[in-house]
């Protein structure tokens, strides 16, 4: 495997890991409350193979949902004209590109947010390596500091400003 494939795999695994951890943290009571609300509103799947919710099968049994405020015809036309002027409409064909992406020279130039310089990116990378905040090799998506906390104890203590730093452990690199 090339380094690029390994890096891409590490990023994907990290994204899934972060998403999984973000979903954790609900208490049993919170989940039960959400289920009770879904049942009350008819937002649970109806028995059978139709794939419809109880609300969709029997709308009269459940309270009406709040209706979103509709835009006026003139607001919709103004938004369409703005999208047309800015090139935000889909271009003809099957590319899925907007008109601006397909032919940027036909539209006003867009402002690009300033990014980091190469030196700033390299400094950030060196800091991540020093502190262990870089994805470790492997498929777990863990950082070096998570896998080897003993190697990064000094950096962690210094970063958090604690008085008693361990001096016998140094980060590897």
pLDDT recorded at residue 134: 87
The CA-based diameter of the chain, rounded to the nearest angstrom, is: 71
Say whether both 82 and 129 belong to one domain.
no
How far apart CA 74 and CA 38 sit, in angstroms, is 37
**Per-residue confidence (pLDDT) for residue 153, from 0 to 100:** 74
Residue 156 in any domain: the answer is: yes
- 104-155 pLDDT, tens digit per residue, is 999 988 888 888 889 999 999 999 999 888 888 877 788 888 888 888 876 5
In our burial notation (b when 16+ CB lie closer than 10 A, e otherwise), range 8-30 reads eebeebeeeeeeeeeeeeeeeee
Orientation angle between helical segments 118-131 and 153-160, nearest 10 degrees = 110
Collect contacts of 35-39 with beta carbons under 8 A, ≥24 apart.
none
With 50 as the cut, is the pLDDT of residue 1 above it?
no
Token pair listed for 98: 């907007």
Residues 38 and 13 in one domain: yes
The answer to whether residues 131 and 156 touch, using CB atoms and an 8 Å cutoff, is yes
Residues 102 and 125 occupy one common structural domain: no
The HSE-up count of residue 53 (CA atoms within 13 Å, CB side) is 13
Does residue 98 share a domain with residue 140? Answer: no
- Domain membership of residue 167 (yes or no) is no
> Cα–Cα distances in Å, from 58 out to 43, 44, 54, 65, 116?
11, 12, 6, 14, 55
| Same domain membership, residue 15 and residue 44 | yes
Q: Is the pLDDT at 166 greater than 50, yes or no? A: no
In this structure, the answer to whether residues 29 and 54 fall within a common structural domain is yes
- Does 54 share its domain with 19? yes
Is residue 124, in this structure, part of any structural domain at all?
A: yes
pLDDT at residue 72, rounded to an integer: 92
Residues 53, 10, single domain; the answer is: yes
Residue 15 lies in a domain: yes
Q: Is 95 a member of any domain? A: yes
Q: Is residue 145 part of a domain?
A: yes
Query: Does the residue 111 lie in any domain?
Result: no
Note whether residue 112 is domain-resident. Answer: no
Q: How many domains does the chain have?
A: 3
Same structural domain, 98 and 123: no
**Which pLDDT score, from 0 to 100, does residue 54 have?**
85
**Segment 82-93 mean pLDDT:** 91
**pTM of the predicted structure, to 2 decimals:** 0.32
Residues 78 and 29 in one domain: no
Give the structural domain span for 11.
3-61
- pLDDT tens digit sequence for 2-60: 455 555 555 555 655 555 555 567 888 999 999 888 888 888 888 877 788 888 888 88
């Amino acid at each position: 495997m090339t380094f690029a494939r390994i890096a891409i795999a590490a990023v994907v695994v990290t994204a899934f890991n972060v998403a999984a951890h973000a979903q954790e943290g609900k208490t049993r009571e919170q989940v039960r409350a959400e289920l009770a609300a879904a049942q009350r509103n008819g937002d649970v799947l109806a028995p059978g193979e139709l794939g419809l919710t109880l609300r969709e099968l029997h709308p009269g049994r459940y309270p009406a949902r709040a209706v979103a405020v509709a835009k006026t015809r003139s607001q919709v036309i103004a938004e369409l004209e703005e999208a047309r002027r800015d090139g935000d409409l889909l271009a003809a064909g099957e590319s899925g590109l907007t008109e601006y992406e397909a032919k940027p020279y036909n539209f006003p130039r867009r402002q690009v947010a300033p990014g980091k310089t190469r030196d700033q990116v390299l400094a950030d990378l060196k800091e991540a390596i020093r502190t262990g905040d870089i994805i470790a090799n492997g498929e777990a998506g863990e950082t070096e500091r998570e896998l080897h906390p003993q190697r990064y104890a000094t950096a962690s203590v210094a970063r958090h400003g604690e008085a008693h730093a361990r001096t016998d452990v140094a980060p590897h690199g």
